[in-house]
């Protein structure tokens, strides 16, 4: 099935996003728009981006951007508001830094607190806001561990919800068995209180991503979330 929205991490620049949108259009025969804002990661030169299928009634309110709540802590993020005729959904695509070095864990917690601030700014105005934060969080702790760096999001009021918590058993989104990649949604979206409801989540595992194949394929597994009208 053609995806509505896809978030990407570890891309190069807007040319990469244009190429991905073109490839999606060719594969699915739908109109895809590329979403990109230049980040400020000088260490790797990598960035994040997204594509949106605009042929199903969804569009972008304003434009994709970076926001002040996240600018200081997250070098790689993109925020966009998606709208249709009946509702809206605010999406944040991220790639958090790895918790390495003397202050690595502290920096990772700061990133998650910045995401919490962004989410609470929306929820304080509208507790039923549809929010999605997705991407590579570089979170090595297993799904459901509230003591992880991501725990600040799940312990908030109202709490954010990890879509991977719908799955049973050990969940891995990477070739090394960890669940670095997450899709985190607001309580309203998890419960379906504002036109959309989290329906199911899948991790599409593949056999690539080790040794030589890492040069031409990803060692991450796509995480697919399905929303339904409520």
pLDDT bin (cut points 50, 70, 90) of residue 207 is confident
User: How far is residue 36's CA from residue 18's CA, in Å, rounded to a whole number?
Assistant: 9
pLDDT at 159 over 80: yes
Contact partners, residue 16, CB within 8 Å, separation at least 6: 8, 49
Give the pLDDT band (50/70/90) at residue 212. Answer: low
Tell whether the model's pLDDT for residue 112 goes beyond 80: yes
Residue 91: pLDDT band with limits 50, 70, 90 = very high
Q: How far apart are CA 124 and CA 127, in angstroms?
A: 6
Beta carbons of 142 and 170 less than 8 angstroms apart: yes
0.85 exceeded by pTM: yes
**pLDDT over 90 at 100, yes or no:** no
Work out the average pLDDT over 51-79.
96
Model pLDDT for residues 122-154, shown as the tens digit of each residue:
999 999 999 999 999 999 999 999 789 999 999
Average pLDDT, the chain: 94
């Amino acid at each position: 099935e053609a995806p509505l929205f896809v978030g990407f991490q570890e891309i190069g620049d807007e040319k990469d996003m244009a190429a991905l949108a073109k490839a999606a259009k060719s594969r699915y025969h739908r109109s895809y728009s590329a979403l990109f804002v230049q980040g400020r990661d000088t260490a790797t030169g990598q960035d994040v981006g997204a594509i949106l299928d605009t042929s199903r009634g969804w569009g972008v309110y304003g434009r994709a951007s970076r926001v002040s709540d996240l600018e200081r802590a997250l070098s790689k993020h993109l925020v966009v508001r998606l709208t249709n005729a009946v509702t809206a959904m605010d999406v944040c695509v991220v790639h958090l830094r790895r918790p390495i070095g003397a202050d690595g864990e502290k920096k990772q917690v700061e990133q998650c607190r910045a995401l919490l601030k962004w989410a609470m700014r929306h929820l304080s105005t509208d507790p039923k806001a549809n929010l999605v934060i997705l991407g590579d969080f570089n979170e090595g702790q297993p799904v459901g561990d509230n003591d992880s760096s991501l725990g600040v999001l799940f312990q908030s009021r109202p709490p954010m919800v990890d879509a991977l918590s719908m799955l049973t058993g050990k969940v891995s989104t990477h070739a090394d068995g960890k669940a670095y990649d997450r899709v985190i949604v607001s309580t309203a979206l998890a419960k379906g209180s504002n036109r959309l409801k989290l329906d199911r989540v899948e991790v599409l595992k593949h056999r690539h991503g080790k040794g030589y194949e890492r040069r031409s394929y990803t060692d991450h597994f796509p995480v697919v979330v399905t929303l339904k009208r409520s």
